[in-house]
Amino acid sequence: MKLRLTDMAIKKLPHPAQGQVTHWDELTPGFGLRCSTKSKSFVVMYGERRKLKTIGRYPDMSLSDARAQAKRFFVLHQEGAHGEHQHAISFDEAKDRFLEDCRNKNKPRTVADYTRHLDKHFQFSGNLEDVSRQQVMKVVSSLSNTPSEQSHAYVAIRTMMNWCVRHGLVEQSIVPQIKQGSIARNRVLSEGELRDVFLRSQETPFPFGPIMQLLILTGQRRSEVGSLRRTWIIDDCVVFPAGFTKNKREHRFPLTGRSQEIIEGLPDTGDLLFPAATNNEKTFSGWAWHKAQFDDDLEDVAPYTLHDLRRTFATVHAKIGTPIHVTEKLLNHVTGTISGVAAVYNQHTYAEEMREAMARFDEYIVKLIET
């Protein structure tokens, strides 16, 4: 049966009680969606014998990607019918072509990272089209004891295979999209990743762009930044009232010059800095949707969560020499080097130490984004 395939239509299509039902797209002849009892897959029909080929499973492959993939397939098949189909290439040849293209478009550091991870972890002999998803994910899974290495290796092979699809070397990527947070539980962004995310946040409009900048610069929890009120900003400090924070105690931390500039540049939305889109009295919402849009073009950044920015904040402070007890004060941790009886007797606020540490962090970000 024929149907104009849209995202909404695909979601509403029922699974048959048994067997398979194929819905052919009215916009792209030969392209359709096959529904079985448990899955939905994009298919193409081609050739004089009307051969059927699966090109991807929904929702792992989006409708727009599937339709584009189908069109590329038809072009390649038509070329093949006239004896012009390009010969199969080896995995190593595809890798070399990918890296060569990267050298013309990416920074040397990015190319070096891709080269190291692809050469070290993905050594597949034979043709590119013969490499399977199982082979790739076996390599990725084997790196689970080194989460950072695992994340970067995954990004390298995913980026390469997406490039191969765009250049017609394979019909579809064998690297699945992995949900955020499923690769590493102790994720810390690399310098290059942190730079890319911060630069993207500067380009992203209100409200999510400024929110991301403040998450990176302050290290506070997303619920705290999303709920910021102007009445909580006193002089050059933010004071979260007792009962609002996770540990139910007042938390005061200094705002650096860069953070103050971001806040001063926000539109007048009343007391809440980041109100909900439909109601200025409610706090910001829609985190998942905004972050998905934000991450859309960050191909060089492995999957990460907003809480990973907080962990990265703490890691950078260790790198620039901030004492651990000062970092814990900035993060408002109740457990750590100053806890229990020590916390009761040590009532020093560490205000100046916190201010100096935040100023050094500001300098670190400035140097990072200018490199």
Instruction: Quote the pLDDT of residue 311.
Output: 93
Query: pLDDT tens digit string along 281-327?
Result: 899 988 988 988 898 878 788 888 899 999 999 999 999 999 999 99
Q: Which two tokens stand for residue 163?
A: 């490039």
Q: Where are the beta strands (DSSP E) in 214-292?
A: 233-234, 237-240, 251-254, 275-276, 279-283
Architecture per CATH, domain 91-166, reads as: Orthogonal Bundle (1.10)
Residue the block writes with tokens 């709920």: 227
- The pLDDT of 191-207, averaged and rounded, is 94
Q: How many CB atoms lie within 10 A of CB 279?
A: 10
User: Which CATH number is associated with domain 2-81?
Assistant: 3.30.160.390
Residue whose C-alpha is closest to residue 1's, from 39, 57, 13, 46: 13
CB 30 within 8 A of CB 71: no
Distance CA 41, CA 55 (A): 8
Location of each CATH 1.10.150 domain in the chain: 91-166
- The pLDDT of 173-198, averaged and rounded, is 78
Residues in the chain: 371
Peptide bond into 108 cis (omega under 30): no
CB 154 within 8 A of CB 301: no
Location of each CATH 1.10.443.10 domain in the chain: 191-370
**For the purposes of burial, counting CB atoms within 10 Å of the CB of 162, is it exposed (0-12), middle (13-18) or buried (19 or more)?**
middle
Architecture per CATH, domain 191-370, reads as: Orthogonal Bundle (1.10)
Q: Which two tokens stand for residue 251?
A: 């938390």
pLDDT band at 346 (very low <50, low <70, confident <90, very high): very low
Decide the pairing of beta strands 275-276 and 279-283: antiparallel
Residue the block writes with tokens 């034979």: 126
Query: pLDDT tens digit string along 250-283?
Result: 899 999 999 999 999 999 999 999 999 888 889 9
pTM: 0.53
One-letter amino acid of 205: P
Angle in degrees, 0-180, between the axes of helices 351-370 and 324-331, rounded to the nearest 10:
90
Instruction: Quote the pLDDT of residue 179.
Output: 59
